[in-house]
Amino acid sequence: MPNDTRGKSESTGLTIDSFEKQLKRLETIVSQLETGGVPLHESLALFEEGMELLKQLQSILEMTETRIEELIDNGTTIPAPESIDLND
């Protein structure tokens, strides 16, 4: 059970982890395009890459599952007590 939660968290975690990198890459692409001087075919490739990044970023932003876990021994995690996880 703890392993399940962990594997799941890691897989979704990876995408959030790269969020910063993806956002930076997108910013770089946009300013590169805006600065100009990029050949047309490269511009289109950059644009495509940018749109792909946008799609990924937006999908991460749409993630709405907050997980509250407790770290016990040896890096094992268990769901936190209900008393902690109170919705607004």
Partner 1 sequence: MTGSGGNSDIRSGDYEEQENNFWVTVSQITSSIKRCLEDGIRPLWIKGELSNVKFHRPSGHLYFSMKDESALLRCVMFKRNVFSLFFEPSDGEEVIAFGRITVYGRHGQYQLVAEELVPAGTKGIAAIELEKLKRKLVAEGLFAVERKKALPQFPRVVGVVTSSTGAAIRDIVRVSRRRWPGVRILLCSAQVQGEDAPGALVRAIERQNEANIAQILIVGRGGGAQEDLSAFNDEMVVRAIVASHIPIVSAVGHETDITLADLAADARAPTPSAAAELVVPDIKDVLAQVSVLENRITRVIRSRIALVKEQLSRYRSSHGLMRPRFGIQELSLRLDDISHRLRSAVANLCIDTRTRLSGKRERLESLDPRSILKRGYTMCTDAQSDTLIARVRQLEDDHTIHVRFYDGVRSCRTIPEENPNQPD
Binders of partner 1 among 8-67, rule CB under 8 A? 9, 12-13, 16-17, 19-20, 23, 26-27, 29-30, 33-34, 40, 43-44, 47, 50-51, 54, 57-58, 60-61, 63-67
Half-sphere exposure (CA, 13 Å, Cβ side) for 60? 18
Cα-based torsion angle of the residue sequence 55, 58, 60, 65 in order, rounded to the nearest 10 degrees:
-140
Token pair, residue 45, equals: 């490739």
Q: What is the DSSP letter of 73?
A: G
Chain residues binding partner 1 by CB under 8 A are: 9, 12-13, 16-17, 19-20, 23, 26-27, 29-30, 33-34, 40, 43-44, 47, 50-51, 54, 57-58, 60-61, 63-71, 73, 75, 77, 80-81, 83-88
